[in-house]
Chains A and B, each alone.
Chain A
Amino acid sequence: MTLITQGAEAHLYKTTFLSPSIPAALKIRPSKPYRHPILDRRLTRQRVLQEARCLARLVREGVNVPGVLGVDWDLNSVHSLKGVEKGEKGVGAGAWILMEWIPGCVVRVVISRWEKYLSSRSHSQGNGSVQAEKEEEEAKILALLRRVGAAVGILHKAGVVHGDLTTSNLILRGTGADADAEEEWKDGQEPNLEGDVVLIDFGLASQSIQDEDRAVDLYVLERAFGSTHPRTEPLFGEVLEGYRASYRGSGSVLKRLEDVRMRGRKRSMLG
């Protein structure tokens, strides 16, 4: 079991489900010692269940998200899954969700590889063919950005808003040989832009069909995109085009997005 990443609320491990041949992602929410124990249990349970329910529902709706393989919402349960940090059988070390493992690479990395690739190309050859080649490469990234928009649209259509959309919470599902993220990649190598876009990390997701919540989702993605990929920011419009085409009702959300841009993520000035 290896630690992949760690946030303020949860730790994410790569592990296995049932058999060593089935990889899985394990998200553990450890207890927070500074919180009152009763409140801690209630909040953790609520959040673990919220996330698991959203994922289970989206799988049924056919949205590309990791399926739920197992859940334990009791912060105090005893389990060998949780012997991780202390190297012993963890007691009350946290509630967890076991999820399907999605092989591939996060879109953040794919885009930054593409940016590097593009700049290395334009430096190495200084003749007229550069422009044509640049356009060709741009067509590929535009197609990826449209798929990102479509993935968000299908999510919204299913009645869920993500709450924390960034390019790190989108995985480009790898296929066949280059299926895993750990593969090496050399600067200047052409990144693979093919594959399904899978949405991950539903820790802040909720069920909503309101234009406001959907527009805020897009706004958060737009801002995250601008700060993570400043060089590719001019192409973000393509994400919104992919979104527009993905379901009925996207039009009014995009209109709402203009209002949200004017005032920011929070609607009221309180809190």
Chain B
Amino acid sequence: MSPPLLDTIHLSHLPPSMPVHVALYRDVQNAPYLRQQLMSANADFEYAFIDASTVLSRTHLLSAVFRAVNDYMNGRLKSRNVHSEIVFSLSPATNIAESFRKFGITDATKDLLVVKVSVTPEITHESVAAHLGQHVEGTPVPFDDETLSTISDIAKIKKAYKLGALNTAPPNQANGTHDAGMRRLELSVLGAIALRGAT
């Protein structure tokens, strides 16, 4: 196994002692095994495992992480821990099981995003990298917008956020209308994440 390209990120406004570790894999071979570890609540596998086709961009994923960690720090988690909350935070709806079906790892997942938050000092870049390198069978790729844009399934994302009517121009269109459409889709998604559960 090649070493994973684990990205360690300090998010604005979150405590510097709580960096976020993100890895992106393609052609994952053992999704059923990883999902099984989650289902059996194996404490060694406390990660947010996300189907990468449901994620538009770095900003999309990280704003869900931001919301989950902010809720964690305020004792407002709706799910078991901060990692399950990250998957839940991607969802615009308040149904936790449904959010896992839509955004979480499934047995068919080929492109996988893994997120781990350093909630205790023992969780470090090295420890996460080593553990993932051992257990995820897939090709590590960089966690950047360019790679994500080849993975994300726009139709699926629009459906998940009920943004079907939103007009995004096809990628072959010139003079920036595609970029403007994608920007609008991203901002609509961020708004949905931020406002989930507002009554």
Total A-B residue contacts, Cβ distance less than 8 Å: 82
Do residues A80 and B14 form an inter-chain contact, with CB atoms below 8 A? yes
Q: Mark A165-195, 1 if CB is under 8 A from B, else 0.
A: 0000000000000000000000000000000
> B-facing mask of A28-61, CB < 8 A → 1, else 0?
0000000000000000000001001101100110
Query: Is the beta-carbon distance between A52 and B74 smaller than 8 angstroms?
Result: no
Q: Is there an interface contact between B12 and A68, defined as CB atoms closer than 8 Å?
A: no
The reply on B15 being an interface residue by CB < 8 A is: yes
A68-B190, A100-B187 given as contacts; is B59 within 8 A of A18 (CB)?
A: yes
Least distance between B88 CB and chain A CB atoms (Å): 16
Which residues from 53 to 82 on chain A have a C-beta closer than 8 Å to any C-beta of chain B?
53, 55-56, 59-60, 62, 67-74, 77-81
Is B194 a contact of A59 with CB atoms below 8 Å?
no
Contacts of B194 in A (CB 8 A): 52, 56, 68-71, 98
Answer whether A70 and B67 are a contact pair too, CB < 8 Å, given A18-B62, A59-B188, A60-B191: yes
Q: Judge whether B13 and A81 touch: CB under 8 Å.
A: yes
Size band of the interface chain A makes with B: 20 to 34
**Which of chain B's residues 179-199 have a Cβ closer than 8 Å to chain A?**
184, 187-188, 190-192, 194-195, 198
Q: Contact: A67 with B15, CB < 8 Å?
A: no
In order of increasing CB-CB distance, the 3 nearest A-B pairs are A56-B191, A67-B187, A68-B191
Residues of A in contact with B (beta carbons under 8 Å apart): 15-20, 22, 49, 52-53, 55-56, 59-60, 62, 67-74, 77-81, 98, 100
Give the A-binding residues of B (Cβ under 8 A).
Answer: 9, 11-15, 59, 62-63, 66-67, 70, 73-74, 76, 163, 166-167, 184, 187-188, 190-192, 194-195, 198
